[in-house]
Structure 1
Amino acid sequence: MRIKLILLCLFGNLISLAAQNSIPVNLTEASGSISGKVVDKKTNQPIPFVNIIVQDNGKVVSGGITSEKGLFRIKNLELKKYNVEIQYMGYKTVSKSITLSVNNTNANLNTIAIEEDAIELKGVEIVSEKSTIEQKIDRKVINIGKDLISAGSTAAEIMNNIPSVSIDQQTNAISLRGNPNVRVLIDGKPTTIETAQLLQQIPSSSIKQIELITNPSAKYNPEGMSGIINIVLNKNTKIGLNGSINNGVTFGITPKLNSSVDMNYRNGKINWFANYGLNTGKRTNYGFINTTETGLEDFQDYTFTRNNTSHLAKIGFDIYINEKNTLSFYTNQNLFKGKSGSLSKIDFVDPSKTDINQTFNNKVDNFSQTYNIDYKKNFKKEGHNIELEANYSDGDNKEDAFYSDPRTNYITNKRNNTLINLDYVNPLSETLKLELGLESRIENARNNFLLNNNYNSNFKFSRNIYSGYATIGKQWKKWSSQLGTRIEKYEANADFNKVDETPAKFNNDILTLYPSGFLNYTPSEKNSFNLSFSRRVDRPSINQLNPIRDWSTPQIDSEGNPNLRPQFTNSFELNYTRKTKIGSVTSGIFYRRINNEITRTLVENPNDPSKQTLSYANLNGNNAYGFESSANLDFTKWFSSNMSVDAYNKTIRGVVSGKFLEANVTAFNARMNNTFKASKNLRFQFSAMYQGKDLTLQMLGKPMWKMDLGSSLNVLKGAGTFTVRYSDIFKTMRYRFTSEYPKEQYGQFNWESRSVYIGFNYRFGSGKNKAVQRKTRDQNESQGGGVL
């Protein structure tokens, strides 16, 4: 209730502020103005929200946008000569010269007819057909098209086709550049859903683009050693009624359905938008582990099934109060229901040991919701703005688990977080820009655990983070730079209680600085270099801190460590982008220095010597470095390709069976996605992926690879697209491993990697994209935008 009152009061204040901003200002000095009307050259219809830019010798001095009737009027101009540019997405830019004088203070350009840019429109069409990778100053942006990269059921399947990202097929754990310490955001905001579950809940057809921010600036929250992955959901802003309908079915062992509806209605000063996605189906994993350690020989067989259904809805609106003030609101609603089961069989070679057959079944109900309100005010000076945003989300997760021991677990998790941001951007000059911001983040989590219908344990966890940042950007000739720092006050408290055990507590209070820096050098249009630095932090999660047993198998218990400390990372990165006639190639190297590294431990269970306990601990400093290269190339009009390779090296350390272990690990991965355009409407795709060996303290994972084939066909005059994909045609994707610690073993796990996907996308409406500037946080860029 308190949160709702806060949002209501905030909404009222924003409306009041907007009303105050609409009061006209009386000018005492004589000044000039430029007016006119913009229409479509073919239809002669007025075009709203066209950019009008007024320049004085190449310098932007003023500007505005057209009204609903295509009219514009730029006031308060000095009496001199100007160049006026009329810019609108998908149309050719028109330039007009005008001179304001004492005898001509109000210049009327009359009706200006602009025509569509066929080249630009063609480019937009190509992007929509295939996924493209765009390298920006501080991130890699994957724009999701309708090709093999995007064809699938869930966000997890898309992620596994993206450079630098890996998804564990058994657990859905995500890693970036070989590191699992990555922060995942939805529309630039944190979520209360666990990442592994989140990636299964988001339908692939609801995703617009994915941003890999490997070295974020001080404007961003510093969590995540390897950076940030931001999943941007679909949102349309075209004029009139527009939308798309997506339906897809993946056939593996069993069929899985993936559907979504994306709509918007833009009329006058209000844009309504809505998106609904459905993902449902049953998935099967299976595998074995054989122990060859003398005296401990056994044969273990496992079967896992998951039957999940998720509903994801996004609805909201933008109100363009006037040319300078915008108010936006949206809500995400996520409903997830899942059933899973497993069968574990352990056959001991030693006849004195009793074989084990354990079944496990659980049911999960999860409901999460997010509410976001944003107000942005643009000042007279181009790029000068202030933005206030409030975001509230909560989640309610219930799990019922049944073991054949017999044993039952009933778990309830409740989480909520409140995020308030204030951002200010001021271009002090043409080459100098200042950005300031404040953030307040309040998070709470509660858990209650019943064992065999009796109270067993509970915990309460809360953390408050208060921060402020400042960045300054400077451009001179072929160089540009940005320096900044973020100061953050972090407070965390937790109480862990369990029957017959001493209560455990966790307290942390830290004040820390997180500096960042970017340096760009562009010697020519075809070459650019980017050097960046940032300080990051990985704070222990609830699962890592909670000493209460999280899960159990016949041989291993998992629990957290309340004595964990945060780990800090200093990250350096150098990238080079080369543009050619057929596309662009970006290559880069990175280095990380990690302090107080959090790592896994596996030790003997003090209460049961036949079992082991999996937990966490802090170790000393560590180093990691790597290389990446990706290319977007159009070899001919009918053949294009996205290719990437990456290699990482790191030192892994930990405790296994009471023994400290250390090893150097080098991982290599490669991906390729080729598109062959047979005709205007027919395309074929061939993709391949290679994942090199993976070494952990306990096992050596062997290399994996796969090949996919697919095709897309445009129908209904381009309004519809059929997509077909045959994944893992040689059925080579499987996880095979050998292990020496804590005992000699080898094994293999399989999933439904070989599958056939059939999808259809239908688009309706023909409105033009609006040209008014979007919210800063929708742009998500370090210089001129971003999320905290």
Structure 2
Amino acid sequence: MPFAFAQPAGWFVCLLPTLLLPVFPLAAQSLAPVSGMVSAQGGAAIEAATVTLHRATDSVAVKTEFSGADGRFSLLTTQSGRYLVSVVQLGYARAWAGPVEVSTATVPPLTVVLVPSAVQLKGVTVTAQKPLFERLPDRTIVNVENSSLASGNTALDVLSRAPGVTVGINDNLALRGKEGVLVLLDGKRVPVTGVELAALLRSLPAEQVQTIELITSPPAKYDAQGGAGIIAINLKKDQRLGTNGTTNISYGRGRYGKLNAGLSLNHRNRAFNFYGSYSYTNRNGFQNLAFSRNYLRDARLISSSTQYNARRVDLQSHTWKTGIDYTASPRTTLGVMLSGLGSRLPVEGNNSSTFFDSANQPTLGFVSRNESLLRTPNVAGNLTFRRTFPLDSGRTAELTADADVARYGTDRDLSLTTNYLFPGRAPRLLTSSQDGSLTIQSVKTDYVRPLPDGVRLEAGLKTSWVRSNNDVLFYNTIADITTLDVNQSNGFRYQENINAGYFSVSRTQPKLTVTAGLRAEQTNTAVRQTNSNGNIERHYLQLFPNLSVRRVISETHEIGFSLSRRLDRPTYNQLNPFRFYVDPTSYRAGNPYLQPQTSYKGELTHTLGKLTTSVSYAYTSRPILAVYALENDTLVRSTDTNLENQHYYAFTLTAPLALTKWWQLHADAELFYINFNGSYGGSTTLPGQLGAVLSTNNAFTLGKGWTVDVSGTYHSREQYGFEILRSFGQVAVGVQKSLLAGRGTLRLNGTDLFYTAPVRSAFRYNVLTASQRISQDTRVATVAFSYRFGSNEVTPARKRSTGAEEEKRRAAGQ
């Protein structure tokens, strides 16, 4: 029977006028900002130009900001006096403006026009490269674009080496040791988690990524999903005028070969920007799992097993994107974008298993072959609108609106053949076919308005609809007789509607910035299974406040504090009860009765010079945890459950250092303690244990276009719920050389040089204990080449952010 959702609640309609109410700042006397606009010679606004405020007496830099999408900037200083302004942007000559007199009176807005550097520098090329890691008050930015360690690798490889990010035993991402991460790809939420998310990130070449932002305390404008924070992956977008493009190809070799190739094209004029990109990935590898299990009853050993799974994994994917941006007027922009991902993931696995009784005598032995094929035809579309409104004193308000629609398909076939060595039994064949589709629709609007005295108002509304339909059929074949397995065959229907609204007010003074926000989300969900008598429906409204305070003590000394409440809804994969077999004794299935988890987090940050430290604490109610259950004497089920609560404590140290003119070092260390309270199947969680995540990156500039990167990561031993995780890490090195007048780049790199990335772990339950080792094709040598062609005249484009964010991360098996 169909599900019926109520219309958005009255609170949501009543919230709109509240969001548009004027906000009056507290009375305070502060210095006027130095504001203005940066544009090219033709009048086009230039975004992301570096604008620096200098003392006029000695040209010492006192403040730096970036120009906005409309080219406007605003700089605040703590002392009155005469100042100069410099503006720098790639492809343009540096420009100066001023001097201006800063006092409590309004400073007239400045107009800065940049000219192409080729005209000003007469053939002299000035190059600069951002550091691989940048630490900002609320986030860490990974500048992937020019890293030699990124070439030929995937987005998942880059993430695994990012500060504070770990990829767990089941390919689950964790940020600062804590799972529950929201992943955004160009502003859109990635539609999968766990193994499916890892497969998607492995299909995304790192050459397409410009930056990755690790946001631990997101503001109210972001969806409340993601208790551990947000990982925002921003793809490259050509900002040059005329017709331009970039092509890249790489080949890596571990045990098996790994090929990436891509092409992006862009044509931009003053009114239109046409762009498109395509990439092909063919990555062959392996995933081997060696494990032993003990089966217990009343704390006594009943039986045990030793097993080994050897899996060959061949991933092929095609990703593409095309779109048009139209500048209808200097203040109005329209855009349309289509994107898609089609992947094919065949897996061939061989399993050997031997079972023993309590006296360690063999009782059962078999070998099996697992052949599966996963196909994911996915496509998404976005319409966007942006309008700016001039205000007084050089300020500009901005209204954006987005509409998204996406469809994610899943076709999964399984063939599991088991031949028994002893005792004699007839061979068994288990086959299944799963067809699924997920449709996501969303609309959102955001409004930003600067107000006098450094006050900024942000407000927005969003609504989304999700429909997921999945069907699976299982068949057993024994002695050439095939029958439908009605116990495992099933149909799963899921519907979801989320209505959200937020507002945020911030005030920036010379030495103090305060931001307070509130987000409200109303959620309606419904689940129906074909082989279940009852439906599950949930309707709830939750509020998510956040507060951040930043106090500047001096130019090199500041402190900050943030407090927020966030949510983790179960992903569609975690809710889907379909079985996915790894071998005859292990399968994965979702839990349709899972409830969302909520968390409260506070963080105190201190920066002195380039050294940043922070302490944080988070409390989570009803945390979702992956667990194992003993189905019968030999069959183990992997699923998810809600525990009672979770406590998380962390201390972080970040040190970006310039040891010499040619050696840049970025070190990041985190100590954390995670403790779960609760039980599953009569088993109580293990006590928490102090853990550490350490990472370092060394960048060496050798001259004549040569650079070298050396990075290392280390994750210490950890106890997490019912699991004990052994230490692991890896070392990588990369070399790059600029060629062909700077348009070409040759890169060589090697990852996991000492093959220390394999993960070893154990889990403990009253009826089951196990230890295991998972290894993959991570030690790889890669050669890569990229070439950039076309014009060098730059006019930065607006970074596109679409509305279908929260839902797409949680699509299961799509």
2:421 equivalent in structure 1? none
- Aligned partner of residue 189 in structure 2, secondary structure: coil
- Aligned partner of residue 177 in structure 2, secondary structure: coil
Candidates 446, 449, 454, aligned match of 2:472: 449
Q: How does 1:276-675 map to 2 (within 5 A)?
A: 276-291=278-293, 294=301, 296-350=303-357, 351=361, 353-381=363-391, 382-404=395-417, 405-452=428-475, 454=484, 456-498=489-531, 502-551=532-581, 553-579=583-609, 584-605=610-631, 608-653=632-677, 655=679, 658-675=682-699
CA–CA distance in 1 between the matches of 2:292 and 2:373?
30
Matching residue's letter, 1:397: T
Q: Describe the shift of the 1:429–1:485 C-alpha distance in structure 2 as closer, same or farther (beyond 3 A).
A: same
Deviations along 1:277-303, one digit per CA (max 9) or x if unpaired, are 221121112242234775524321110
1:157 equivalent in structure 2? 157
- Aligned partner of residue 590 in structure 2, secondary structure: coil
Q: How does 1:140-179 map to 2 (within 5 A)?
A: 140-168=140-168, 171-179=170-178
Deviations along 1:399-419, one digit per CA (max 9) or x if unpaired, are 011111301110111011112
Candidates 125, 129, 135, aligned match of 2:128: 125
Query: How far apart are 1:722 and its partner, in Å?
Result: 1.0
- Aligned partner of residue 296 in structure 1, secondary structure: strand
Percent of aligned pairs with the same amino acid: 22
CA–CA distance in 1 between the matches of 2:683 and 2:69?
68
Of the structure 1 ranges 334-343 and 745-754, higher mean CA displacement relative to structure 2 is found in: 745-754
Query: How far apart are 1:699 and its partner, in Å?
Result: 4.1
Query: How far apart are 1:743 and its partner, in Å?
Result: 4.3
Report if aligned partners of 2:150, 2:158 keep a CA contact under 8 Å in 1.
yes
- Aligned partner of residue 159 in structure 1, secondary structure: helix
Matching residue's letter, 2:201: L
Matching residue's letter, 1:596: R
- Aligned partner of residue 568 in structure 1, secondary structure: strand
Q: How does 1:94-109 map to 2 (within 5 A)?
A: 94-95=96-97
Query: How far apart are 1:534 and its partner, in Å?
Result: 1.3
Query: How far apart are 1:47 and its partner, in Å?
Result: 7.0
Query: How far apart are 1:328 and its partner, in Å?
Result: 1.9
Q: Describe the shift of the 1:371–1:84 C-alpha distance in structure 2 as closer, same or farther (beyond 3 A).
A: farther
Q: Describe the shift of the 1:112–1:633 C-alpha distance in structure 2 as closer, same or farther (beyond 3 A).
A: closer
CA–CA distance in 1 between the matches of 2:149 and 2:605?
24
1:692 equivalent in structure 2? 716
1:783 equivalent in structure 2? none
Matching residue's letter, 1:429: P
Q: Describe the shift of the 1:323–1:84 C-alpha distance in structure 2 as closer, same or farther (beyond 3 A).
A: farther
Q: Does 1:714 align with 2:713?
A: no
- Aligned partner of residue 530 in structure 2, secondary structure: strand
CA–CA distance in 2 between the matches of 1:666 and 1:415?
40
Query: How far apart are 1:654 and its partner, in Å?
Result: 5.1
CA–CA distance in 2 between the matches of 1:291 and 1:64?
58
- Aligned partner of residue 355 in structure 1, secondary structure: strand
With normalisation by structure 1, the TM-score equals 0.81
Q: Does 1:183 align with 2:160?
A: no
CA–CA distance in 2 between the matches of 1:486 and 1:209?
27
Q: Describe the shift of the 1:233–1:623 C-alpha distance in structure 2 as closer, same or farther (beyond 3 A).
A: same
Q: Describe the shift of the 1:195–1:407 C-alpha distance in structure 2 as closer, same or farther (beyond 3 A).
A: same
Deviations along 1:438-485, one digit per CA (max 9) or x if unpaired, are 001111111010112957211110110001111111122300111110
- Aligned partner of residue 396 in structure 1, secondary structure: strand
CA–CA distance in 1 between the matches of 2:408 and 2:165?
26
Q: Which has the higher contact order (CA 8 A, sep 6+)?
A: 2
- Aligned partner of residue 762 in structure 1, secondary structure: strand
CA–CA distance in 2 between the matches of 1:778 and 1:208?
18
CA–CA distance in 2 between the matches of 1:339 and 1:630?
41
Of the structure 1 ranges 315-324 and 726-735, higher mean CA displacement relative to structure 2 is found in: 726-735
- Aligned partner of residue 543 in structure 1, secondary structure: helix
Q: Does 1:759 align with 2:784?
A: yes
Report if aligned partners of 1:600, 1:654 keep a CA contact under 8 Å in 2.
no
CA–CA distance in 1 between the matches of 2:231 and 2:69?
34
CA–CA distance in 1 between the matches of 2:199 and 2:756?
26
Report if aligned partners of 2:132, 2:147 keep a CA contact under 8 Å in 1.
no
- Aligned partner of residue 196 in structure 1, secondary structure: helix
Matching residue's letter, 2:187: G
CA–CA distance in 2 between the matches of 1:559 and 1:305?
23
1:785 equivalent in structure 2? none
How large is the Cα RMSD of the aligned pairs?
A: 3.6
Q: Describe the shift of the 1:747–1:546 C-alpha distance in structure 2 as closer, same or farther (beyond 3 A).
A: closer
Give the number of equivalent residue pairs. 698
Unaligned runs of 5+ in 1: 1-35, 41-45, 68-82, 99-108, 781-788
Report if aligned partners of 1:497, 1:504 keep a CA contact under 8 Å in 2.
no
2:793 equivalent in structure 1? 768
2:220 equivalent in structure 1? 218
Matching residue's letter, 1:370: A
Report if aligned partners of 1:154, 1:279 keep a CA contact under 8 Å in 2.
no
Q: Describe the shift of the 1:407–1:654 C-alpha distance in structure 2 as closer, same or farther (beyond 3 A).
A: farther
2:4 equivalent in structure 1? none
Query: How far apart are 1:594 and its partner, in Å?
Result: 0.8
CA–CA distance in 2 between the matches of 1:515 and 1:66?
30
Query: How far apart are 1:698 and its partner, in Å?
Result: 4.3
Report if aligned partners of 1:700, 1:737 keep a CA contact under 8 Å in 2.
yes
1:702 equivalent in structure 2? 726
Report if aligned partners of 2:498, 2:521 keep a CA contact under 8 Å in 1.
yes
CA–CA distance in 2 between the matches of 1:703 and 1:65?
45
Query: How far apart are 1:267 and its partner, in Å?
Result: 1.6
Query: How far apart are 1:618 and its partner, in Å?
Result: 2.4
Report if aligned partners of 1:218, 1:534 keep a CA contact under 8 Å in 2.
no
Query: How far apart are 1:530 and its partner, in Å?
Result: 2.1
2:756 equivalent in structure 1? 732
Report if aligned partners of 1:279, 1:311 keep a CA contact under 8 Å in 2.
yes
Deviations along 1:669-701, one digit per CA (max 9) or x if unpaired, are 111121222223112222222121132444422
Unaligned runs of 5+ in 2: 1-36, 57-66, 72-82, 101-110, 296-300, 418-427, 476-482, 805-814
Matching residue's letter, 2:94: K
Deviations along 1:744-781, one digit per CA (max 9) or x if unpaired, are 54442322222211111111224232157x2584999x
Query: How far apart are 1:132 and its partner, in Å?
Result: 2.2
Q: Describe the shift of the 1:776–1:326 C-alpha distance in structure 2 as closer, same or farther (beyond 3 A).
A: same
Query: How far apart are 1:604 and its partner, in Å?
Result: 3.6
Q: Describe the shift of the 1:710–1:460 C-alpha distance in structure 2 as closer, same or farther (beyond 3 A).
A: same
CA–CA distance in 1 between the matches of 2:70 and 2:410?
48
With normalisation by structure 2, the TM-score equals 0.79
Q: Describe the shift of the 1:779–1:323 C-alpha distance in structure 2 as closer, same or farther (beyond 3 A).
A: farther
Deviations along 1:580-611, one digit per CA (max 9) or x if unpaired, are xxxx3332222101112223443442xx3443
Matching residue's letter, 1:749: I
1:134 equivalent in structure 2? 134
Q: Describe the shift of the 1:554–1:653 C-alpha distance in structure 2 as closer, same or farther (beyond 3 A).
A: farther
Query: How far apart are 1:261 and its partner, in Å?
Result: 1.7
